[in-house]
Amino acid sequence: MSGTADNGSIYPGDLGLLLGQKKIYGFQGSASSGAADLGIDNPGTLASSASSRTIAIAARPGDHPSTQRQLVWRVRLITGTAGVNLQVSIDGANDWTTIDTYSGTTDSVRAVGADSGAAALPNAQSTSKILSGARFIRVTDTGSGTTAWIDIVCQ
């Protein structure tokens, strides 16, 4: 497993932040060490072609590992234009595959179905097969630089 795949995990139904950090109300503190201040909103900025944190998608105890049926991801744009690829991987290191792309100047809520778009051939790899077997997820900037909050929910 890659060293970048260490940003926690989410279970189906949980919300995971891929980019940025929302305020924790009541948090007392500051970021004098240079770290993000949890008492204020901190949108994330991706440099051109950079990737966000990686989050592991976990199965609920007792469930089959491929329990998610769809993934909902939200882009809350802060400035400029967002251009991001939503990517999944089975090992979090080398095999990142783009399953959805967003480019625009407004906020967006997007759903990617795990059971839609079946392939024409029995063993062809389709988006549905990639998502239903994914274990890690991230977003990658498409080359323009993006400042936003981006979160996901696996259902």
CATH of domain 9-154: 2.60.120
Compute the distance between CA of residue 83 and CA of residue 98 in angstroms, rounded to an integer. Answer: 13
Other residues' Cβ atoms within 10 Å of the Cβ of residue 25? 7
Confidence (pLDDT) at 129: 60
Q: What is the pTM of this model?
A: 0.74
Residue 52 has pLDDT above 80, yes or no: yes
**Domain spans in the chain, listed from the N-terminal domain onward:** 9-154
Residues with Cβ < 8 Å from 138, sequence gap 6 or more? 18, 51, 52, 53, 54, 55, 87, 89, 96
Residues with Cβ < 8 Å from 94, sequence gap 6 or more? 2
Tell me: the pLDDT tens digits for 95-123?
788 888 899 999 999 988 765 434 444 44
Tell me: the pLDDT tens digits for 89-100?
888 877 788 888
Helix (H) or strand (E) holding 46: strand 44-46
- Mean predicted confidence (pLDDT) in 122-136: 62
Tell me: the pLDDT tens digits for 5-25?
346 788 777 888 888 877 777
Residue 124 has pLDDT above 50, yes or no: no
